[in-house]
């Protein structure tokens, strides 16, 4: 039994429509939909969505919790949205918005320009802070990972782009 799959999904403040295996959620932030596999059945009961495996096969039970998490993510996204915060550390490392693009100075011979994907908002409250937000959890996470990929935090001085709550394992340098 899936512990995640058993929990019902609250749809308070969101208009949800179920069309076959497609679930569409419409909220204050926008509209998202997800297509579920036929192995998982979904029904609406008392302001909640209840998912269950369609049969007792291993594939149905395997996809039960995943499908519930996908539905929860679209409902949370259209209701509240998602955001990830990135921090930049290093001398001369900084970020700035240039129109719709993010301009990163990360110690290369040139500035790195990251084009903002559709459905994602990027803000730079400070030169060393980047906030990536949107309604699609997967897009927000992928955009943050793409920005971090330009200069990952290195283990000796910790310079680079890291997530807000990421721990960078520090190594000791050479000894004489």
pLDDT of residue 3: 83
CA 157 to chain centre: 28
Flag the least confident range among 3-7, 17-21, 83-87, 108-112: 3-7
DSSP H or E stretch at residue 136 = none
Instruction: For residues 121 and 81, give the distance between their C-alpha atoms in angstroms, rounded to a whole number.
Output: 11
* CATH class belonging to 3-79: alpha beta
Q: What is the mean pLDDT of the chain?
A: 93
Q: What is the pLDDT of residues 125-176, one digit of tens each?
A: 999 999 999 999 999 999 999 999 999 999 999 999 999 999 999 999 888 7
Task: For the chain, give every domain's residue range.
Answer: 3-79, 82-163
pLDDT of residue 174: 86
Model confidence at 89, in pLDDT bands (50, 70, 90)?
very high
Please say if the pLDDT value at position 37 is more than 80. Answer: yes
Residue among 62, 68, 49 at smallest CA distance from 5: 68
> Angle at which helices 137-149 and 58-79 pack, to 10 degrees?
80
pLDDT of residue 9: 92
pLDDT of residue 1: 64
pLDDT of residue 63: 92
Please say if the pLDDT value at position 4 is more than 90. Answer: no
Q: What is the DSSP letter of 116?
A: P
Residue count of the chain: 176
CA 37 to chain centre: 22
pLDDT of residue 173: 86
CATH topology identical between 3-79 and 82-163: yes
Contacts 24+ apart (CB under 8 A), 44-53: 44/11, 44/16, 44/18, 45/8, 47/10, 47/11, 47/12, 48/8, 48/9, 48/10, 48/11, 49/8, 49/9, 49/11, 49/16, 49/23, 49/75, 50/8, 50/9, 51/5, 51/9, 52/5, 53/5
Quickly name the fold that domain 82-163 has.
Answer: Outer Surface Protein A; domain 3 (3.90.930)
């Amino acid at each position: 039994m899936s512990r995640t799959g058993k929990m019902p999904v609250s749809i308070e403040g969101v208009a949800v429509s179920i069309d076959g295996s497609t679930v569409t959620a419409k909220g204050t932030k926008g509209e998202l939909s997800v297509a579920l596999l036929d192995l998982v059945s979904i029904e609406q009961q008392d302001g909640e969505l209840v998912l269950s495996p369609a049969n007792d096969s291993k594939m149905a039970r395997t996809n039960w919790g995943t499908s519930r998490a996908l539905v929860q993510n679209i409902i949370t996204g259209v209701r509240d949205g998602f955001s990830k915060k990135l921090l930049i550390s290093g001398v001369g490392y900084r970020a700035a918005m240039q129109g719709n693009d993010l301009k990163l100075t990360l110690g290369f011979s040139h500035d790195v320009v990251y084009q903002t994907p559709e459905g994602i908002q990027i803000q730079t409250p400070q030169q060393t802070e980047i906030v990536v937000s949107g309604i699609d959890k997967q897009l927000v996470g992928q955009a943050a990972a793409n920005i971090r990929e330009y200069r990952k935090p290195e283990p000796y001085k910790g310079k680079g782009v890291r997530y807000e709550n990421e721990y960078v394992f520090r190594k000791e340098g050479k000894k004489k």
